[in-house]
Amino acid sequence: MFRSLIPDLYANSIYHIDLDELKARGIKAVIVDLDNTLVESNRPDATPKLVTWLNEVRKLGFKVMIVSNNNKTRVSRFAIPLKVPYIHAARKPLSLSFLKAMRMLGVSKEETVVIGDQLLTDVLGGNRVGLYTILVVPVSEVEGFFTKLNRRVERFVFRWMERKGLLNWDQT
């Protein structure tokens, strides 16, 4: 079971992901989590740095979609001004929203990357579908109740990964 929690890549943030490398892998679409991946969970709008990153992602030809477990109000208020399609109340790690996102973007699993800050939602969900997964460090420590519970489980999984030599980044 733990193997399905291992991301393909670790990054300190979305800004540390080599987009040219993703393109060389044949990636055409980016499914990205919202809270604590793109911005802090309590930040209502995109930062100028994020807007620049999204523009770069699009300029390189990637399709982008936000897939979030958060509610419609939160996700739509963030995504609509950026003109980024979204799926709210995604119920990650269930596969349905990932499959729906790929269908909406017109891409296959081999052409899709999932980027998120949680092992138990983003990475597990992406891996269950067979997507390339990237785990990023959360941008904030401000988190909801269920995320705090997930983080406790994540610490256990990170310790297991470290013992097995599977953890190849500095932050756990």
And the tokens for 52? Answer: 């620049």
Q: What is the pLDDT of residues 114-170, one digit of tens each?
A: 999 998 899 999 999 999 999 999 987 666 666 666 667 677 766 766 777 766 654
Average pLDDT value for residue range 88-97: 96
Global pTM value: 0.87
Average pLDDT value for residue range 36-46: 94
Domain contains 168? no
What DSSP string describes 107-171? Answer: --GGGEEEEES-IIIIIHHHHHHT-EEEEE--S-S---HHHHHHHHHHHHHHHHHHHTT---SS-
Domain contains 169? no
Which residue segment(s) compose the domain that 21 sits in? 2-163
Whether omega for the bond prior to residue 93 falls within 30 degrees of 0, making it cis, is yes
Give the chain's domain count.
1
Domain contains 101? yes
Domain contains 143? yes
Domain contains 89? yes
Identify the pLDDT of residue 165.
73
Residue 50 has pLDDT above 80, yes or no: yes
Residue 29 has pLDDT above 70, yes or no: yes
* DSSP 8-state symbol, 35: B
Q: What's the mean pLDDT when you consider all of the chain?
A: 90
Residue 66 has pLDDT above 80, yes or no: yes
Higher pLDDT, 160 or 8: 8
Whichever domain contains 140, its CATH number is 3.40.50.1000
Domain contains 171? no
Domain contains 107? yes
Domain contains 15? yes
